[in-house]
A and B are shown apart, each in its own frame.
Chain A
């Protein structure tokens, strides 16, 4: 099925460092969302973006909806060990809830 191009695939960083990951698509989306998935759990919503150019923060997380509506990025500042997990971007082509997910970015944080 169709998937987004998410990068990097994995990151191994030191606690306290900032992290950046992004997602691109050949299709336009009305909504971009970022989810986090811990092992053995379902994805949990972190941030949702609804307007091209929108920049939204949630604590140490900041995400942007690309102006072309074909990309988005997620930044995590001052990483901590509990940030460990898999981060997925997801695009929604219309207001249906039918999401197209990226392949995920696995984040590991060294204390």
Chain B
């Protein structure tokens, strides 16, 4: 498709379950980001990939969160042993710009995956 695609759109998990969220970026975009958006808040940075390299994972809230982009295209955000505080919308964004170049902040966001942990 023409835009960033995320799946599933909605996920309900019982506390303690593992979840995996998928992101298909815009074709050819080298940069991929994951953001977490709690209800009523702005998005918060989780992690950043340039091609298959994870260059920044400073925003991941705990070691239960893991992201990968093995072939430099599709990315998966995995959350192990989910907790109620993990409930949020997880947004994926991509950019054609590489690290350090101007306009690197002009991101194209997907519709997000809404995770609810019961």
Query: A interface vs B, CB < 8 Å?
Result: 1, 3-4, 6, 31, 33, 35, 40-45, 48, 50, 88, 90, 92, 94-104
B42 touches A101 (CB 8 A): yes
Stretch at the interface among B11-19, B70-78, B89-97: B89-97
Q: CA–CA, A103 to B101, complex, Å?
A: 26
Is B8 among interface residues, defined by CB-CB distance under 8 A? no
What's the minimum C-beta distance from A32 to chain B, rounded to whole angstroms?
9
Is B4 among interface residues, defined by CB-CB distance under 8 A? yes
B109 touches A92 (CB 8 A): no
Q: A96-B104, A97-B33 are in contact. Are A42 and B91 (CB under 8 A)?
A: yes
Contact with A along B63-102 (1 / 0, CB 8 A): 0000000000000000000000000000101010101111
Find the residue from B95, B101, B104 having the highest chain A CB count within 10 A. Answer: B104
Report the interface size for chain B: residues with CB under 8 A from the other chain.
Answer: 31
Neighbouring A residues of B99 by C-beta, 8 Å: 95-97
B41 touches A104 (CB 8 A): yes
Neighbouring B residues of A104 by C-beta, 8 Å: 40-42
Of the candidates B100, B101, B103, B110, which one forms a contact with A42 in the assembled complex, judged by CB atoms under 8 Å apart? B110
Of the candidates B42, B93, B101, which one forms a contact with A3 in the assembled complex, judged by CB atoms under 8 Å apart? B42
What's the minimum C-beta distance from A74 to chain B, rounded to whole angstroms?
14
Q: CA–CA, A45 to B43, complex, Å?
A: 14
Neighbouring B residues of A43 by C-beta, 8 Å: 43, 91, 107, 109
Q: A95-B99, A95-B104 are in contact. Are A103 and B42 (CB under 8 A)?
A: yes
B110 touches A97 (CB 8 A): no
Q: A1-B44, A33-B106, A41-B111 are in contact. Are A98 and B56 (CB under 8 A)?
A: yes
In the complex formed, the residue of A with least CB distance to B32 is A97
